[in-house]
Every structure is written in C-alpha cells, then in structure tokens.
Amino acid sequence: MDERQLIRNAIRTVPDWPAPGVQFRDITPLLANPKMFRVLIDQFVHRYFDARPDVVAGIDARGFIIGSVLAYELNLGFVPIRKKGKLPFSTVEESYELEYGSATVEIHTDAVKPGDAVLLIDDLIATGGTMLAGKRLLEKLGARVIEGAAIVELPELGGAPLLRAAGLELFTLVSFEGH
C-alpha cells in the first residue's frame, strides 16, 4: 500500500461532530502512531526539501503540530497564526466568514519579513476560508506564500478551487468525500 493510502487509513472519521451532518476527520490516530507520524511528516519533508521556504507558518491548532515538526526537520523557523486574542505582541488580523458567523486570525507583526517565502500549513482544507485568511495575513506583512499544504482536502466544500483562484498553489495528501 502506498504512503498516502496508509495515511488515509489512519485518519478516523467521527460522524455528526461537532454538529449534526459534519464528518469530522480526526488526525489524532495518525499522530499517535509513531511509524505513521514519521510517514506523514516525511511526505512534507520530501516535498519542501529542495523548494526551501524561508519559514513555515502553521494555522491554529493542528497546523502547529505538523508545521513545527516540519520546520524543525527542514532547519527552518516556525511561526504561528492564531485565533484572535492569543498572541501577546503587536499583531495584524484578518476576519473571514464561517457557515454561521465569522472568525478572526492573527499573526505577530514581526513573524515574517517582507519578501520571505512562506510555506503555510494546516491539517485540513474544507471551504478554504481559514487558509485564505492565513495567506492574506502573511501578505499584509509583505511575505509571499509559496504553497498551502494540508494533510486532508474535502473537495465537496470547494476550498481548493477558491484558493487556487486566489493564487495559492496547494499540496494535499488525501481527500475525503462528504463534509
């Protein structure tokens, strides 16, 4: 079995969580299995070994787990994009629409420098709103996002075409049908 299929098999689907009709794609079994954790991180290490971004930006909260390990393996720094109200220093923020209501994410103003080539990473792309907000934050600081990376993509929610239309190339490992 190839690595992507092994990764897909290690992701647990929890139906009707956190709300009825949502199929939550739970990566915790993938992280808890030492061999699968290594297989997972290696997919991203191989992808970015030669592309050499200047920094890895991870999105709150599961993007921190894979993004920080990836940054360490690539000898790069890691910067967090957090939900509003968590970062202590001066920040820029970006709000985006959710199915019900809106959300705001923030980054420290000194997290990246103008001209930095940034790899943006999260665990999953659904509607693409979170990753698009992350891209906009990094661009507000003058950085360039070389690619958006995630373990999972949910094609039915349309995130990938939205992000590509906004000029963001994507690298994802597995996809699941259904929300």
Quick one: how far is CA 164 from the chain centroid?
Answer: 15
Interface with ligand AMP, residue 23, by CB under 6 A: yes
Task: Decide whether 20 or 115 has the Cβ nearer to ligand AMP.
Answer: 20
Contacts with 176 (C-beta within 8 Å, 6 or more apart), sequence order: 8, 11, 13, 23, 25, 152, 154
Stretch that binds ligand AMP, among 72-80, 86-94, 107-115, 128-136 (CB under 6 A): 128-136
| 8 A C-beta contact, residue 72 and residue 87 | no
Range in contact with ligand AMP (rule: CB under 6 A) among 3-11, 23-31, 46-54, 82-90: 23-31
Tell me which of 53, 67, 80, 128 binds ligand AMP, using CB under 6 A.
Answer: 128
Q: Any contact of residue 22 with ligand AMP (CB under 6 A)?
A: yes
What's the closest the beta carbon of residue 122 comes to ligand AMP, in angstroms?
5
Interface with ligand AMP includes 166 (CB under 6 A)?
Answer: no
> What is the C-alpha to C-alpha distance for residues 155 and 98, in angstroms, rounded to an integer?
17
Question: Residue 80 or 129: which CB sits closer to ligand AMP?
Answer: 129
Distance CA 81, CA 135 (A): 10
- Taking the complex as a whole, the smallest distance from the CB of residue 142 to ligand AMP amounts, in Å, to 24
Residue 97 CB, nearest distance to ligand AMP (Å)? 10
The catalytic site residues sit at: 62, 99
Q: State the Cα–Cα distance between residues 105 and 87, nearest whole angstrom.
A: 10
Give the Cα separation of 106 and 87 in Å (integer). 7
